[in-house]
Amino acid sequence: MVSSGHLDRRSPRPRSGLRRERSHRFGREYSEACSSRVRRRISPTKFRKVPSGEAIHAVGADGVDRAKRWLEGTSRVYHVWTNPEDEKKLTFSWATGGTFSFDLGGTLHGAELHNKNFYAEVKKYKGAGNQGTEYPKYLAKCYLALQQRPEMCDHFMWITWAPFSIGKWPSLLTSDYVSQSILVPANRMRTLGSATATPDPAHCAAVAERLWLIVLSDKQEVLRLTDDERGEILKLRVKGGVG
């Protein structure tokens, strides 16, 4: 029974109250469902692990050391300069200020290479990587190095473990490619000191004549002379008054 002015507790709720409750419940369920979908979209996302600066430096240092050992293992190298021990010998200046340095340098031995100096850049990559953009920058370095210290720049070596710019490979040692590399906007300014200057064709040709492209492999490194064999050669040179 319903008494006057009062609702029995067992009586049905008013329709407006039910509608509000259902609306609130639907809102909560919809919000939870949206959150769940967002979580499902976000949580499985995997990001590629980027090597730390220390890891990249370690790989670079290993490559330089291996290139140094390979060069020495040819028995055609007198001295090898490395960073930071010989930083001053390896360092040059950009036209806009600041400096750059090569990874290696040194003096060669024997025949037409005797007492000739070289500078080298080393890339120990598993693939082409960013060599397509780094090589033109390297040519800019060679252009300036030959300007600033011509007596020390007999050869420029790019030593890598992976070919790059395959479509352009035949032209990478040409004076035209040296010139094109200098004209890359970033290189043009730091090499020539002006956004409108042009490289000297004769100087580009002189750089090109000195360029080497050396592609190594892990197994190829095994073919070099061992340290003991190289030691015997050095003994013979000292005995003969050659080296």
Q: What is the mean pLDDT of each run of 10 residues along the chain (243 residues)?
A: 46 52 54 50 44 55 93 90 93 97 95 95 95 98 98 98 96 98 97 97 98 93 80 75 62
β 99-101/91-93 pair status: antiparallel
241: left (phi over 0), alpha (psi -120 to 50) or beta: left
Q: Report how far residue 100's alpha carbon sits from residue 180's, in angstroms, rounded to the nearest whole number.
A: 20
Report if residue 21 sits inside a domain.
Answer: no
Domain presence at residue 173:
yes
User: 158 near 212, Cβ under 8 Å?
Assistant: yes
Would you say residue 140 lies in a domain? yes
Could you tell me which of 93, 80, 65, 73 has the C-alpha nearest to residue 119?
A: 80
d(CA 112, CA 148): 24
- Give this prediction's pTM: 0.74
Q: Does 57 map to a domain?
A: yes
Q: For residue 202, list its beta bridge partners.
A: none
- Within 10 angstroms of residue 241's Cβ, the number of other Cβ atoms is 6
Asked whether residue 133 is assigned to any structural domain, the reply reads yes
**Domain tally, the chain:** 1
> Residue type at 75?
S
Name the token pair of 203: 């100087």
Question: Letter for the amino acid at 176?
Answer: D
* Domain annotation covers residue 36: no
In sequence order, the 6+-apart residues with CB closer than 8 A to the CB of 25 are: none
Residue 46 lies in a domain: no
Return d(Cα 91, Cα 145) in angstroms, integer.
9
d(CA 135, CA 128): 11
Task: Report pLDDT for 46.
Answer: 44
Q: What is the chain's alpha carbon radius of gyration, rounded to the nearest angstrom?
A: 34
CB burial of residue 225 (10 Å; 0-12, 13-18, 19+) = middle
* Residue-range definition of the domain harbouring residue 144: 53-239
At residue 45, the pLDDT reads: 42
CA distance 212 to 50: 31
**pLDDT the model gives residue 22:** 54
The answer to whether position 2 is within a domain reads no
Partners of 183 in the β-ladder:
none
- What's the CA dihedral at 138, 213, 119, 92 to 10 degrees? -10
Return d(Cα 195, Cα 86) in angstroms, integer.
33
